[in-house]
A and B are shown apart, each in its own frame.
Chain A
Amino acid sequence: MNDALFSQLTTLGSSVILLYGFTLLWRKSLHAYTVAFQWQSVMLTGLFLIIGYFGHDVELYLVAGFLFILKVLILPRYLGKLEQRFPGERESRPYVNVATSLVVAGLLVLLAYAITRPLVLVSDLPTRGGLPLAVGLIFVGLFVIITRKKALTQIVGFLVMENGIALLAVLGTYGIPLIIELGVFLDVLMGFLVMQVFVYHIHDTFESIDVDQLNELRH
């Protein structure tokens, strides 16, 4: 089919993926984060398929399959377990309040637009419309990690940021070689497991997973 539709679809998909990233700033419960991450990953899988279809790249289908298994099936399951383990842990008082966070996130996306502008102008990829959104999503993930107190939120923030990186990669290059992609997936899985262990330890030490408490280690 035509490029116009392709570019239309990728930009739309990237916007939706970014919007799921915003959920992390707006909602407060881990359950909502998990669901948002799951749906975001579903969208990302869909986008991989679309790019694979239009870019005639069979490898991408395979990557999409792995992505689906890891990020839609496995990780949300683990997150669900964590959630059951620490019930009632909510992001009730982040460092930056919700309304301000949202506005800051908007500004970050604006910044992403500004810095990717030269790239978008010279690029003739049909997927270029989504590039700033992917960079914006990385920023939003970072912002979540910086401003939220609960370790669990930070994990989801990390995962969302990783989704942003994957999105940027697939939009910018139509998929990096399969082997690297698989390595990244493994890293994500490992990183997640390590963090999970840390969360348990933090909780055992402080009776809470509020990383604000880590400040007490200084004394």
Chain B
Amino acid sequence: MTIVLFLVMIAAYGFGAFVALLGGRGPIGRWLVAAGAVIGAGAGCAFGAVVIISGQPFTLSIPELLPIAGGLALRLDPLGAFFLVVIGVGAIPAAIYGAGYTKAYENGRASLRLLGVMFNLFLLAMSLVTLADNVLTFLLMWEGMSLTSYFLVITESSEDGTLRAGNWYAAMTHAGLALLLAAFVLLMNGGAGAFADLRSSAGTLSPEARNLIFVLALLGFGSKAGIVPLHVWLPRAHPAAPSHVSALMSGVMIKLGVYGLLRVALDLLGGGPSWWGALVLGLGVASALLGVLYALMEHDLKRLLAYHSVENIGIIFIGLGAGLIFHSSHLMTLAALGFIGGLYHTINHASFKGLLFLGAGSVLHATGTRNMEEMGGLIKRMPWTALFFLVGSAAISALPPLNGFASEWLVFQSLLGGLNLPAPEIALTIPLAVGMLALTSGLAAACFVKAFGISFLAIPRSHEAENAHESPLSMRVGMMILALACVALGLAPFAVVPVLGGVLAGLGGLPDTRPVFTLDLSVHAPAGFAQISPTWIALGLLILLVLVPLVMRFMRVNRKLRVGDTWGCGRIGQTPRMEYTATSFAEPLRRVFAELYRPTKELSIDFHPESKYFVKSIKYSSRITPLFDRVLYDPLLRLVQRISRQVRRIQAGSLHLYLMYVAVILILLLIAARWF
């Protein structure tokens, strides 16, 4: 059964890539490419589901295929299977959406062939990362995933800045790979690279080596996941990539960083001292807060979403960090709760962030701009996209009864368990984490009121927005699947939580929590600490939404409705220029957090030559340089530039000089070989 699904997955992705290689143009070609991806992702999803439900890992070892370092070894355990399901949840809608979305590339703006091939290979590589069972396979697939996604980012390479974004992405992801390589070499400790061997030998490593491995892995996987301060590639690469690819990268690929961290820290190393957890927690809090704060200042819709990915990865890391802290204190049920919260948020983020990126893609498709200040009024022109985007916005703002709330609630509850910790230094940081997490979710709500309100509501702010049109059926279907996933995951935590408990059971000594989190219609934190039921809440809301108008009708409320001009203080001629803009919406928060943003502003006023009381034009521009660009990357880049300028002296372009270098090195080597 599982082997069939596995083969179908590989074959379908291969088929998709092959069709794309033949051209993949025209409606049929695009649909065939998408069909490959959909079937592959569907099979992967089913494959993962079967493994999770049966609890039986799937193994396949093909040493002959690659006769070094143990060859290609594949094994799918429930943890990997969960991430395979996440890939499926993100990939199916993205592929369907992509079939319609890529029509715009038919005019030669980008190579459909390259896009189709890379899209399918990217999905394949990601799926195989979750299956990898030795170091070689893991790193190969990891690199394959990075390379294919690099090509996907630079799809629209003719656009300004796309290649630059690609460079940032390639640099960050390869720096991460180098760290991972180091971590795995240390972990192997001269032995074999099979994960089973690593797991058994990890206990014999010295504490220093284990700490080093953990930090290297955290940084390596963190650079992929996009935690602060390694997040800088996200706001650059996501806007540049085609929207369905952004949805995949943001919704799914960065989650594999979470997978890698769990695999190494919890599974292979089997947990560690409590400062590991505290470090993860701290990075999570910083990512969540800085991510949402910079998102608030962003008026490029896709960059805004990219910053929100940083925020949500932060929330996931808070869950994982809490889990690791409890794990080190042997509070296993609480640890499981933290990890469950993190994993739940992982799949939730895959659904709502995927949905939001697809929505942003539809808007981009319809208006040709990513700048929110040029949108507005889209709710009337693209009602379906607006509805789906609204669902995504409410979900990411953690509003009940949607899915963001369910997972944030679990993360909160795991933090509230912090009072059971014996170590006061760490226990006292827990309240801070609670406060910051709450601030993050409040700011996220503010940010999505801005994102939805400014883009979709009120009057169109530009000609393009005025003439926007609804996107084609395929794109709407893609969004609808994810919107339904958001609702379903929000209503059914009682079903999801035990599944996640099963996924985690046995990892790093975690108990099977399925008996603790029972299968009634509510979710319990451990040992009856707290209990909610989003299902009943949703039902209550629904009943009231029906009941209130009915009662009003019964009470003979005046039901007349007249549509008139906007009042707006009786002014004549309501124009879009009078609307609140995204900049002005974010202004109060910019002032509140001015010490972080340090905005620079330029104001130039052009007066009328006759009188200073009449103004011809006012130009206002304000810029915010992100903190880490300012204090970390800019100095780093300057340093690299300075070094390269020095190096350039050596590289003078003269052939004789180069030959001389060769000769000098040769002589030096000979001398070294002879006398040392």
Task: Find the residue from B424, B425, B432, B592 having the highest chain A CB count within 10 A.
Answer: B424
**When the two chains form their complex, are residues A114 and B595 in contact, meaning their CB atoms are under 8 A apart?**
no
B contacts, CB < 8 Å to A: 424-425, 428, 431-432, 592, 595
**When the two chains form their complex, are residues A97 and B595 in contact, meaning their CB atoms are under 8 A apart?**
yes
Bound Cα distance from A93 to B118, whole angstroms: 57
**When the two chains form their complex, are residues B432 and A110 in contact, meaning their CB atoms are under 8 A apart?**
yes
**When the two chains form their complex, are residues A117 and B432 in contact, meaning their CB atoms are under 8 A apart?**
no
Produce 1/0 per residue, A71-115, CB < 8 A to B: 000000000000000000000000001011000000100100110
| 5 A-B pairs with the lowest CB-CB distances in the bound complex, closest first | A117-B424, A114-B428, A110-B428, A114-B425, A113-B428
- Give the distance to chain A from B274, nearest Cβ to Cβ, in Å: 15
- Give the distance to chain B from A109, nearest Cβ to Cβ, in Å: 10
Bound Cα distance from A107 to B428, whole angstroms: 10
Q: Which residues of A contact B592 (CB under 8 A)?
A: 99
**When the two chains form their complex, are residues A114 and B424 in contact, meaning their CB atoms are under 8 A apart?**
yes
Chain A interface mostly: helix
- Give the distance to chain B from A107, nearest Cβ to Cβ, in Å: 8
- Give the distance to chain A from B402, nearest Cβ to Cβ, in Å: 31
Of A100, A110, A117, which contacts B595 at CB under 8 A? A100
Bound Cα distance from A40 to B425, whole angstroms: 30
User: Quick one: closest B residue to A107, CB to CB?
Assistant: B432
Q: Which residues of B contact A99 (CB under 8 A)?
A: 592
Q: Which residues of B contact A117 (CB under 8 A)?
A: 424
Q: Which residues of A contact B431 (CB under 8 A)?
A: 110
Bound Cα distance from A107 to B436, whole angstroms: 13
Q: Which residues of B contact A97 (CB under 8 A)?
A: 595
- Give the distance to chain B from A160, nearest Cβ to Cβ, in Å: 24
Q: Which residues of A contact B595 (CB under 8 A)?
A: 97, 100
- Give the distance to chain B from A112, nearest Cβ to Cβ, in Å: 10
User: Quick one: closest B residue to A121, CB to CB?
Assistant: B424
Produce 1/0 per residue, A122-134, CB < 8 A to B: 0000000000000
Bound Cα distance from A2 to B431, whole angstroms: 32
13 pairs, A vs B, C-beta closer than 8 Å:
A97-B595, A99-B592, A100-B595, A107-B432, A110-B428, A110-B431, A110-B432, A113-B424, A113-B428, A114-B424, A114-B425, A114-B428, A117-B424
Bound Cα distance from A191 to B319, whole angstroms: 52
- Give the distance to chain B from A219, nearest Cβ to Cβ, in Å: 28
- Give the distance to chain A from B442, nearest Cβ to Cβ, in Å: 15
Bound Cα distance from A114 to B431, whole angstroms: 13
- Give the distance to chain A from B591, nearest Cβ to Cβ, in Å: 11
Bound Cα distance from A99 to B439, whole angstroms: 15
Q: Which residues of A contact B425 (CB under 8 A)?
A: 114
- Give the distance to chain B from A66, nearest Cβ to Cβ, in Å: 37
- Give the distance to chain B from A99, nearest Cβ to Cβ, in Å: 7
Q: Which residues of B contact A114 (CB under 8 A)?
A: 424-425, 428
Q: Which residues of B contact A100 (CB under 8 A)?
A: 595
Bound Cα distance from A110 to B424, whole angstroms: 11
Given A107-B432, A110-B428, 11 other A-B contacts at CB below 8 A? Answer: A97-B595, A99-B592, A100-B595, A110-B431, A110-B432, A113-B424, A113-B428, A114-B424, A114-B425, A114-B428, A117-B424
